[in-house]
Chains A and B, each alone.
Chain A
Amino acid sequence: MGGFWAAVVPVLQMFFLSLLLLIMLPAMFGFSLGITETYMKILIKTLKWATLRIQKSSKEEETLKHSSSNGLIQRDDSSLEKEIGERRGNRRGDFALSDVFYFSKKGIESIVEDEVTQRFSSEELVSWNLLTRTNNNFHYISLRLTILWGVGVIVRYGILLPLRIFYDIILSYCWMNPQLACCNDGVDALHCRLKDWLSELVHVMCYRICARGLSATIHYHNRENKPKKGGICVANHTSPIDVVILANDGGYAMVGQVHGGLMGVVQRAMVRACPHIWFERAEMKDRHLVTQRLRDHVNDKKKLPILIFPEGTCINNTSVMMFKKGSFEIGGTIYPVAIKYDPQFGDAFWNSAKYNMVSYLLRMMTSWAIVCNVWYLPPMTQKEGEDAVQFANRVKSAIAQQGGLVDLSWDGGLKRAKVKDTFKQEQQKKYSCMVVGDDSSE
């Protein structure tokens, strides 16, 4: 037994090391040897085959949910005015016992399917992609499919996962060292520009290794609109990996709260080499302080563009939720970016209620791959007579349209917080106007 291991271990080491070098080195310099591409091609072919098998077998039963994005029920957007208004006819104002019908129908509709709660859990896939986690209605389909799933499990946990973990170890080593070198107090002030350039290079390289480590295939579109120095980059938020995805193509200054744990260590390391903007939790409450610091950063034209996620929380990449107006009050050019992941290869959404950071990363490293499209949209600035909220909504619609996402005005904070009473009060006010018959008031 001992002899067996003595023979196998060096072989394994060689295998991993060579794979590592073959994938990592090109990644650092931004070109590819085609290994990932070949892997992706095989993967796509396999998944297509699996889909066909599932569809064939489900034709015998009733049709599968062939389009989960269509929704479960037909929702007519009839407004309160239309529904109740039409039964009033000529009478100026009135209450009828049937008024409850409107509210109960809307209520039951929202129980069956609502626009908000579905955004805080992973998107349902149209067809199974051979991962257990996405299989909601497991029923045995065929032996071949099950075998394929089994092979998938072995490949993902046996080959991909260790490989990716290796990466992370090497990555953290690579990252910490240049950080220390760059922020060496002994570095001359004259070499400041060199230091900036070098640290930017190192950052991009590290992010590239990161991305390769997750088998991330990123397609950038409209790169002529890439965010420039002194601007603010605004994007929809799906997971912490968004940062890696965007930083693969250039340097950004991050904004955010100081975290504890693993994130905190990373944050502290990052800030020593690059001027990122981290806030204490208490400071976040002081909006003027936050706005001022961001403004200072933006006005310094030599500094990297700030990266902000105005939704404030992770959304499942089927929609864009309300943008908080804070980022839009700073003044400065906004560079909107739309990020859309392809859910077929791996679900990138971080459901922070269900998974902590470590289990999330493990899930990422055991998916097939991360495939996403990044669109750089033309820069936008606040128009005359437009307030911050309207500006935010305009940017949000542009991003939603480009990424093919649903544009919602619900607050992403509803993930954790209760909805504000003001919305209910609005409805009550509208209804009261109809009952009283007062057409002049709003």
Chain B
Amino acid sequence: MRGARSPSSVKLSWRMLWRDWRGGELQMLAAALLIAVTSVTAVGFFVDRVERGLQYQAAELIAADLVLSASKRIRPRFEQQARKRGLRTAHISQFRSVAVAGERLQLVEVKAVSAHYPLRGTLRSATAAYVTDRPAEGIPARGRAWVQPRLLQALGLRVGERFQLGESQFTITRVLTYEPDPGGDLFSVAPRLLINLDDLPATRLIQAGALVNYRLLIAGDAPAVAALRDELALQLRPGETLLGVQDGRPELRAALERAQRFLGLAALISALLAGVAIATAARRFARRHLDTSAILRCLGAGQSLVIRAFSLEMLWLALLASSVGVLGGLLTQSLIARLLEHLLLAELPPPSWRPLLGGYATGVILLLGFALPPLLALRHVPPLRVLRRNATGPDARTWQVYSGVLLAMATLLYWQLGDARLVLYVMAGMLATVGLLGVAARGLILLLGRLRARVGVAWRFGLANIARRPGASVLQIVAFGLAIMVLLLLSSVRDDLLRDWRRSLPPNAPNHFLINVQPDQVAGMRAFFAAQGAGAPQLHPLVRARLTRVNEHPVSSEDYPDERAKHLVTREFNLSWADQPQADNRIVAGHWWTAEEHGRPLLSLESGLAETLGIKLHDTLGFEVNGRRLTFTVSSLRQVEWDSFNVNFFTLVPPGVLDTQPASYITSLYLDATQKRRLGELVKQFPNVTVIDIEAIMNRVRGIMDRVIEAVEFIFLFTLAAGLAVLYAAIQANQDERRYESAVLRTLGARRAVLWRGLVAEFLTLGALSGLLAGLAATALAWVLAEQVFHFDYRFNPRVALIGIVAGMVIVGSAGVLGTRSVLSRPPALSLRQGG
């Protein structure tokens, strides 16, 4: 019998949707939902595009989207396969050789490149050593060479002069200041020179047995590249490897990861705030539908029909609002993208469809999750309510339902962010904040009660309003508090966070590396810089070593499926020693050695590398150091802030272990433009020392930071909108009671001015309370974020609480009074007629 009726629930729900819409019951829910979906989708699309744009930037680091690197000439079929997929290609042949100029010889790294190199990023060059550079066009013409400034020093040449390479003569036409793909080892000793690939045969340098690295650069559409990558991976022979975009420099990887976290956080806060707005609006909706539910039941609707009808009504609303929201998101992101195109990235890749799905999922989950629980409680409304107004059923087992909601949200967010820890932190932070806000709000309301006796009539009325509905007031304060907290986070605290991030790479961060300093030159080097006024650089010893065994198993790159791991495990390790960890290192497992442990074969490993290679604490690593085999036990794992650009090492050992090994020293330091010009003197005084200028790479990290900060600021505008929705919903929350009460009071003879002042008093008080709590919460949250997630030093700023109070009073006060103006302007008769 009941089954026969079930189709009517669909019809009934549509009717309810239409009638509620007409009655103005759904607008607030729909608006909150719209903001949520629009912002989440816009953020989703935008983050997606920016992420892919940044990925694209990261592609510059290998000058391509994909690189096939081989020790033998690249088989032509690979290039054909790439071309078939419509991808662009270029070739590099790189090898070591000797450049000759008169009497002088210099080991050089020759990079012979074909037209269209680089496929991603640009070369930069200058007309002389250490002068301002600019983007270079094309590649060196036949017979021409572009060289690193170090080569000029080494050969005693200037731009325009010639040198011999193999059997060919080359004219130096430009100084090479920046290659997108320096590749491999930053500390490589040989200066690089760039020639045209067509000149290579004539040099006769490429002969059987020559150690040449051949690289095929590939770039184009991401899906085509991915497909090609999969295709090529199956055809690789020993000696051939594929390099993807992820394999860039650790400094940039760190910056990008942090950038994603910032953007992700912005999306997260918007979504959660919108949820709060929806929950607030839904609570009101549910209360206004107690009668509907009771009458439906009295007229013979079963519980299940009531649930079905309300659930379906919400589902329709979710789908409709999400469709509009998704469209809005799509429009908005294209607007932002156009707005930021010049600021952000030269060219943003088109949006993918994934965020669309995310938008719908967000809409449905938010509405069903946050709005349904209070509505489901309607099924418990006893039909008896039609006889006795106050008869309400048990409150929904709201907590059970909400934990389901949180779980659903966490899943959704995880899907969006892909960072379980971040999701966990923010969810826990949010819950703790809401809980604490609630408890604190309740306490403050109790205190208010005592104040009531000592104030004038308007204030007494206002304060009474707050104290009379403690539950609703707590909810309102929590909602206001959350909104203001986010506004505060967005203003002052965000600035602090972003400034701190920028500060982590200050303008005077080290921009030069000096390598290959001999032990007997250390003192002289220090004296040189002291005389220059550049301070005393910290010199770190390093000994080159090869990893041969992990836990007594011989190491082979075949053991590692991961390409990055393959690459890392076979390259040379730089072992250094120190008695203290550097300031930007954090021990995440094990402990740093004590003075008694100096001289013991212990090793501190960078945690990222440990993870990639699957090495754990207490594992043993066998290294070959100058022909000798040494075994170390991993005694600590270290997290390194690579984007600080300090000299850092993947592997550190205690002092007294490698001291007898032949070591060279390395340092990083900041040189300004004037000091930079004196580098010539330094090179003269210490001819074997190699100077590496990393200014260019640092500027790129700074560029990424600046762009991400701009993007984050823009995205936070949506969070702002969500915050305003929460405010609005919270003000609407007890509009009905307020309307009825004020009508009754006016009937009893209260003048409008008194009621108006009462409203002002109520909202000013609510604003001050929630602002105070919000200020404290914002500071705490910023501290947690800074310390735990972003690893900045955050300084507590007590002013934020004060700003919170003032902001709360102004915002909530004005919004509240404006939002409830209609309560006083409506004739009381109208309010009374509609009932409470």
Q: Do A and B bind each other?
A: no
Q: Which residues of B contact A (CB under 8 A)?
A: none
